[in-house]
Each structure stands twice: as C-alpha cells, then as structure tokens.
Amino acid sequence: MRYREALGLALREEMERDENVFIMGEDVGVFQGAFKVTAGLLEEFGEKRVRDTPISENTIVGMGVGSAMAGLRPVVEIMTINFALLAMDQVVNHAAAIHYMFGGQVKVPLVVRMPQGGGHQLGPTHSHSLEAMFLHVPGLLVAVPSTAADAHGLLKAAIRDDNPVIFIEHEALYGRKGEVEEGAEPLRFGQAAVRREGEDVTVVGISRMAVTAGAAAETLASEHSISAEVIDPRTLRPLDLDTIIESVKKTNRAVIVEEGWPHGGVGANLAALIQEQAFDWLDAPVLRVTGADVPMPYSKPLEQAAFPHEEHVVAAALASLGRDS
C-alpha cells in the first residue's frame, strides 16, 4: 500500500484498539486530510473522535496537550511542518516539559503528525525540513519514517507511547508504495534499519534521503564498484547510534544525507557523535550532504537545486574514498 494508506491504517487500528485515541486538526474530517491520510475515518468513528479544528496551530496543540494530560491519546495533525512553528510554545514549553515539571505525576501521550520537505513547488512556508528543531528538545521523541511499513509501525508505537512524539512525514513519500502487514505489532523506537549492507562507506539517510541514499548506493555499486552501507535511523530521538557506529567501524568512512539546512542540522549532530565515538576508525572526514542554505525557492529548477539528489550522494561517497569517479 501507499505510505499515506499505511498511516491511515495505523490510525484506524489504534482507534479500534483504544477508545481514548482521537484525531484533530485542520481538515482532517470532512476534507479527509490535506494529504488524504485520514480518509474514511470521520465516517467510521464520527465527529467526536475525528475533529476538524479552526486554523490555529497553537490552540490545536494546546488542546492536545490538555487532553493528553487528562488521559486521552490525541493525534494532532499540523498541515505542514512550517506551521508547527506557530505551536512551538505548546510543544517545547508544555508538551515536552510537563512530565518533568510535575515530578512524573502527569504524562503527555500526544502525537503531533506533520509533513515536510521540498519538491512540490509549495514555496518556503510549506517546504522546509525542520526535524533538527525538534531533535534539539529533551522530552520529545522524534520519528522520521521513510517507508510505508515504518510509517505504519512507528505511528502505532507513537500512539501507544506515554511521551509526546513529533511524527514527521515527507510529502514526497505519501504516494510511495511498500509492503505493509495489517495488524502488525508496533516498531520499536530507537532501532535503525540497515537498508543495504556494504564494506566501503557508510551512508546515513534521514527521512526521504534514506531512499535517495539507497538509489545512490545502487549507482555506486554498478558504476564505481563501491559497496555502500545504507542506514536509515527511522527515529532521531531516541537515536540508534550503536548501529551507525558499528557500521563506521566496518567501513571507516561516513556520509550523512539530509534535506534540512547545514547549520545546526541533524547531520551536524550525527557528524559530531561519529567523530567523538569512532574517531580512531575513521580514514576520512565525516562528510555531509544537505539542503542548500536558503529558504526553499518556488521556481522548479531552483527548488530541485535546493535539496540533495542521488548524484550529490554519489559524489560525496567518492570524495570520502579519495576518488573523482
């Protein structure tokens, strides 16, 4: 099934499993979601559990925080990650901190779903990749699934978790198909996936860039006889650093690929961690492939130039091996 359908299946299964699970957000009900993830849920579960809201992100997330504190398990949809900036007070000062402020007496089992990423000519206010902002905040869990199966399994895990979860989907992945087992058990947070085993260089891809990294690995193998190991972290908090470090110890090289900006990004964090914990195994500097350090352009050619593609990953892997081709 498609990535969007896998997310919808996870929502349906968890709502059937637990009557405390409900959905709210802009256009999640009658319109069935901006990206059709919530299609059919209003008809199945009714307005009490699939709630359309006004256009007020701070209010939506605040209601989610309050209802989670009261014992419900809200799944809040923000129409795009850029709009989540309007709710950062609720996310950072409340959702992430309340459990600690009250000495563990109160839990906030809240999921905030949001899409991100470029490629659809939606301009800078709809197209950025801001996972690093949420990764920075203690008290939050952060998921970035790249496959339909992971979207299904991680969303189920997020809904059952007693911590607030920032669940980041990629707009370009919604139509991507993959095998999904209905009724499958939730995936465990903090468990990376080795998408492709290799010996020469470790390539870590974040969100959609895990798919891009996989395509680059195929090109490296077929055209350059280079064996790249591709790792998809799947969750950034908690992070399965052990799997990444073990891979780097084997390959002695690392390339990190993300769509977000270079300064203070996920790749910068990972590069520092690899440098700290695997320095003696590195035969080359840790390299990063990132989005351009600009607001996302609307122009299609400029937008395509503003985020990484397969050839950029191939070039970085070759560079880490001291090769031009």
Q: Does 315 lie in the same domain as 224?
A: yes
- Strand 141-143 relative to strand 235-237: parallel, antiparallel, unpaired? antiparallel
Q: Given 13, 77, 94, 126, which residue is catalytic?
A: 126
Q: Is residue 269 part of a domain?
A: yes
* Nearest C-alpha neighbor of 26 from the set 49, 51, 8, 43: 51
Q: Does 207 lie in the same domain as 64?
A: no
Q: Is residue 115 part of a domain?
A: yes
Q: Does 166 lie in the same domain as 29?
A: yes
Can you give the pLDDT at residue 101?
A: 96
Structural domain containing residue 310: 193-320
Which spans in the chain are helix H?
3-17, 41-45, 57-69, 88, 98-101, 131-135, 148-160, 208-224, 241-251, 266-278, 300-305, 310-320
* Nearest C-alpha neighbor of 3 from the set 131, 120, 140, 155: 155
Q: Does 201 lie in the same domain as 158?
A: no
- Is residue 142 within 8 Å of residue 131, measured between CB atoms? yes
Q: Does 168 lie in the same domain as 80?
A: yes
- Is residue 37 within 8 Å of residue 4, measured between CB atoms? yes
Mapped onto helix, strand or coil, the DSSP state of residue 204 is strand
Q: Does 151 lie in the same domain as 19?
A: yes
Q: How far is 213 from 238, CA to CA, in rounded Å? A: 22
Can you give the pLDDT at residue 42?
A: 96
Q: Is residue 200 part of a domain?
A: yes
Q: How far is 22 from 27, CA to CA, in rounded Å? A: 14
179 assigned to active site? no
Q: Is residue 90 part of a domain?
A: yes
Q: Does 246 lie in the same domain as 118?
A: no
Q: Does 31 lie in the same domain as 139?
A: yes
Can you give the pLDDT at residue 324?
A: 81
CATH of the domain at 229: 3.40.50.920
Scored b (16 or more CB within 10 A) or e, 128-148 reads bbbbbbbbebebbbbbbbbbb
Q: Is residue 185 part of a domain?
A: no
Q: Does 147 lie in the same domain as 119?
A: yes
Q: Does 146 lie in the same domain as 265?
A: no
Q: How far is 81 from 58, CA to CA, in rounded Å? A: 13
Mapped onto helix, strand or coil, the DSSP state of residue 116 is strand
Q: Given 57, 77, 131, 229, which residue is catalytic?
A: 57
Q: Is residue 145 part of a domain?
A: yes
* Nearest C-alpha neighbor of 135 from the set 269, 281, 246, 37: 269
Q: How far is 168 from 302, CA to CA, in rounded Å? A: 24
126 assigned to active site? yes
Q: Number of helices and strands (H, E) in the chain?
A: 12, 12
Can you give the pLDDT at residue 96?
A: 98
Q: Does 79 lie in the same domain as 160?
A: yes
Domains contained in the chain, number:
2
Q: Does 16 lie in the same domain as 158?
A: yes
Q: Is residue 187 part of a domain?
A: no
Q: Is residue 188 part of a domain?
A: no
The per-residue DSSP string of 173-202 comes to GTT-B----TTPPPPPTT--EEEE--SSEE
Averaged in consecutive runs of 10 residues, what is the pLDDT profile of the chain (325 residues)? 97 98 96 93 96 96 98 97 97 97 96 95 94 97 98 98 98 96 96 97 98 98 97 98 98 98 96 97 98 96 96 97 87
Of the residues 114, 139, 173, the one at which a domain ends: 173
CATH of the domain at 36: 3.40.50.970
Of the residues 141, 173, 205, the one at which a domain ends: 173
Can you give the pLDDT at residue 288?
A: 98
Cis peptide leading into residue 301 (ω within 30°): no
